[in-house]
């Protein structure tokens, strides 16, 4: 049946250089290795166990060149389908096999996906502040670093801590950035808890964007994340009030489980909508895409079945004129980020790429070759993904329990976020 190469080993590496990552490293009999990201923020050990106990034994001696067949084998053969743990595990295998195939071909992965469709991927940065002056300073700092598009998040008057805003007071007062999976101390680690007031948020956010537009003008692309905290009619109201400020998108306005909610929002506002970072399968999108209820697909390669599945999802979105906005904060490892960038470069319907630089400790573990220049990301022309894992460095950063905060309304009720 032509060229074949046997999978000789598969190793699951859990490391925590500032935050937890799960990486699958597959090696073939001819010595080629491939990496896949399986990180699931706050539930990393569940995916590590799924891989070690249930997936790795199935990979040994399989043909590494049969990527589509392996994807279907792992997805359909398990009977229990979908879900973030399963799809993150499959994503790691799929990405690692693509890495191997591209290395064997001596090409960067995007060449195997059809070649470059653009010179680089426009990236947006995360600006935040406890108040408007601090936010404006953060935007200036991002512009100085070369970003051409900015996500805007700010503290809310009366609330001590707001998810996605650096230097909030919850969790001990330390600075943290987007997707703050916070570590604890002692034998029992519990999530931090934050209070939330949607009415205060809806009053405050339009004033924030008014100040940002007044300071930076009409051309700068601005994005905002609602973190699933609104009801459909609240989200419709926010989208409508933000229309004068010409957002690039309003993200995750309502809980992702309720696709019908986007119909109501769409009826009331022309603000572009993005959703999907908590999705893990194309079936999460069928209504949203076929009815054109969103403008950007926000899934991560890491959580949505890997490069094979994400390429199919984005091709489906392209039929309806919907673009990509692949999830990419720092809980996506450099391996997952590289996979996203190769897709970004190759697909026709690219929109924008989320990007936060990883820490120096993380880059000690993951040796990267992608670059950020003049607001654009490029995955480099190194064969494969262009990322290598330093296993000795990884071992020096052992796993530490860390959880995303729990969001509560001011009356104490646990709330969507």
d(CA 4, CA 354): 36
- pLDDT for 2: 53
- pLDDT for 187: 72
Q: Is 163 a catalytic residue?
A: yes
- pLDDT for 167: 59
DSSP state of 151: E
Residue 318 CB coordination number (10 Å): 17
167: tokens are 């230097």
In the set 50, 110, 124, 163, the catalytic residue is: 163
- Helix ranges (H only) for 271-400 are 286-290, 306-319, 334-346, 360-365, 391-395
In the set 227, 228, 281, 358, the catalytic residue is: 227
- pLDDT for 406: 84
Q: Give the CATH superfamily of 113-383.
A: Enolase-like C-terminal domain (3.20.20.120)
**Residue-range domain boundaries for the chain:** 6-112, 113-383
Give the global pTM. Answer: 0.95
Exposure b/e, 320-344, CB count within 10 A at least 16 = b: eebbbbbbbbbbbbbbbbbbbbbbb
Q: Which of 291, 326, 286, 323 is nearest to 306 (CA)?
A: 326
**H or E, element range at 402:** strand 402-403
Low-confidence ranges of the chain (pLDDT < 50): 1, 170-171, 178
DSSP state of 373: E
Q: Is 227 a catalytic residue?
A: yes
User: Yes or no: is domain 6-112 CATH 3.30.390.30?
Assistant: no
């Amino acid at each position: 049946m032509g060229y074949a190469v046997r999978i000789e080993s598969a190793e699951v590496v859990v490391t925590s250089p500032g935050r937890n990552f799960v990486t699958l490293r597959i090696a073939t009999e001819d010595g080629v290795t491939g990496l896949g990201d399986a990180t699931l923020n706050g539930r990393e050990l569940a995916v590590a166990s799924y891989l070690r106990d249930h997936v790795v034994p199935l990979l040994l001696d399989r043909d590494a060149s049969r990527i589509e067949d392996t994807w279907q084998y792992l997805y359909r053969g398990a009977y229990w389908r979908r879900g973030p743990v399963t799809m993150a595990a499959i994503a790691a295998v799929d990405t690692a096999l693509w890495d191997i195939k591209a290395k064997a071909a001596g090409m960067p992965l995007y060449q195997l996906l059809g070649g470059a469709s653009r010179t680089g991927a426009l990236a947006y940065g995360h600006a935040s502040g406890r108040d408007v002056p601090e936010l404006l300073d953060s935007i200036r700092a991002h512009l100085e670093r070369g970003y051409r598009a900015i996500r805007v998040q700010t503290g809310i008057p009366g609330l001590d801590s707001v998810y996605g805003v650096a230097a909030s007071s919850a969790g001990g007062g330390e600075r943290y950035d987007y997707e703050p999976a916070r570590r604890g101390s002692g034998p029992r680690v519990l999530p931090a808890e934050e209070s939330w007031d949607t009415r205060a948020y809806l009053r405050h956010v339009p004033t924030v964007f008014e100040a940002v537009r007044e300071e930076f003008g009409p051309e700068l692309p601005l994005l905002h994340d609602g973190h699933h905290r609104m009801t459909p009619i609240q989200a419709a109201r926010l989208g409508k009030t933000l229309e004068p400020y010409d957002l690039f998108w309003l993200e995750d306005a309502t809980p992702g489980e309720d696709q019908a909610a986007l119909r109501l929002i769409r009826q009331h506002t022309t603000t572009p909508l993005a959703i999907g970072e908590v999705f893990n399968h194309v079936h999460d999108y069928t209504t949203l895409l076929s009815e054109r209820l969103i403008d950007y697909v926000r899934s991560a390669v890491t959580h949505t079945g890997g490069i094979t599945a994400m390429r199919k999802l984005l091709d489906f979105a392209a039929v309806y004129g919907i673009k990509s906005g692949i999830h990419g904060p720092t809980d996506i490892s450099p391996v997952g980020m590289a996979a996203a960038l190769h897709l970004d470069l190759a697909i026709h319907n690219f929109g924008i790429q989320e990007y936060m630089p990883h820490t120096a400790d993380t880059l000690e573990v993951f040796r990267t070759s992608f670059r950020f220049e003049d607001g654009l990301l490029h995955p480099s022309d190194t064969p494969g993904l262009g990322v290598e894992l330093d296993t000795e460095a990884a071992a020096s950063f052992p796993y530490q329990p860390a959880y995303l905060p729990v969001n509560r309304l001011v009356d104490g009720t646990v709330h969507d976020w």
